[in-house]
Amino acid sequence: MVETTFDILKFSERLKELMENSNYNTYSLAEAVFLTPGTISKYVNAKMEPKRNTIELLAKHFQVNPAWLMGYDVDKWLDGQAPKAKTIPFIKSANYADNEIDGYEVVSSSEEIDLSFLVQDNSMINARIFEGDIAYISKQSTVENGEIAAVVIDGAITLKRLYMMDNSIVLHSENPTIPDKVLSKKDKKDITILGKVTSVKFKVR
């Protein structure tokens, strides 16, 4: 007979295994999957049974078989092989410096992303990017006109659509209440392009 009872102790053990292998603590994992640290703590201590959609969320994040995470005796990996992964830095403060890394996140090595950033404002809401979302960024020093880039201005990271004009650089917000920021070409040194935003992880609203 096939066991169908959810095993909360195995779930707890396997979640802790995934967290340890990916260098997550309760706080960094909570931020990565939009749960609270208290909820993650209850899961790893077998104090609360997760809902099915939460199991699927965690399994997708760690790229494992949801049934394995639930405690069943099945393959850990959906295709029988561990996915190739890489670790990228996570930045959650708008104040930017090269040595200010707030944590790390494990992602598939096939994804063209080099860092992730906790969005700090609602300047890009018409692009469906909101405060509290996580933007994934491919590091590059230039972007095509109209692409959304992560840029550093006055020491702070922000997301903007960039337009390179003949004599100016336009940083366009996808929010009608926020005017464009226009810089002359000679002021280009005042901004640093971190890279292109390739995807965004958002909360269900």
pLDDT digits (tens, 9 = 90+) for 29-88: 898 888 999 999 999 999 999 999 999 999 988 889 999 999 988 888 877 666 677 788
pLDDT at 3: 44
**Residue ranges of the chain with per-residue pLDDT less than 70:** 1-5, 80-83, 96-100, 204-205
Among 173, 170, 154, CA closest to 162? 170
What pLDDT, on the 0 to 100 scale, is given for residue 170?
93
Strand runs labelled E in 11-118: 85-91, 103-108, 115-118
Beta bridge partners of 138: 196
Please, what are the domains in the chain?
A: 8-69 (1.10.260.40), 85-201 (2.10.109.10)
Reported for 117-121, long-range contacts at CB under 8 A and 24+ positions apart, including other chains, are: 117/90, 117/91, 117/92, 117/150, 117/157, 117/159, 118/31, 118/90, 118/91, 118/92, 118/93, 119/159, 119/200, 120/94, 120/157, 120/158, 121/158
C-beta of residue 64 within 8 angstroms of C-beta of residue 76: yes
